[in-house]
Amino acid sequence: MNSEQKKALLLIKAIIFYYHSLRQDEAEMLEQTAKELDAVAELSWTYEFINSDFPSSTSRARTYLKENLESTSKEDKFEILKTVWIDNEKKGYISEIEAVTMLKISKDWGLEGQLIALARSKSN
């Protein structure tokens, strides 16, 4: 996974976690992901990105992801979304607003059907 893909994964995960206020366990999940990916610098970038203008962070993130992952394969983009979905499930729930945000990103990437299929397979 290259630096842009690491940023994408951490950014999506972070904006999802920030919706309901970043809890301690979610912050720990982000830190753990960053350590596993050797992406501590990318996590710092993610926090700066979100905190620079929190109210617009989701829309700015979608723009950033469209522009900066343009050359990333659909398979790699789906792996990022899948990882975020699965990691988000670990906290015990996925709220409607979190799911909608992931669906919007998946639609931006032309992967909406795949994310819906993943969600359905996980709910059974």
Could you report the per-residue pLDDT of 38-81, keeping only the tens digit for each?
A: 999 999 999 999 999 999 999 999 999 999 999 999 999 999 99
The burial of 14, by beta-carbon neighbours within 10 Å (0-12 exposed, 13-18 middle, 19 or more buried), is given as: buried
d(CA 86, CA 119): 9
- Residue 123 pLDDT more than 80? no
Residue 20: its pLDDT value, please?
A: 78
* Mean local confidence (pLDDT), 92-107: 91
Angle between helices 3-18 and 96-108 (to 10 degrees): 150
d(CA 9, CA 98): 14
d(CA 88, CA 27): 12
| pTM given for the model | 0.92
What residues does each domain of the chain span?
3-123
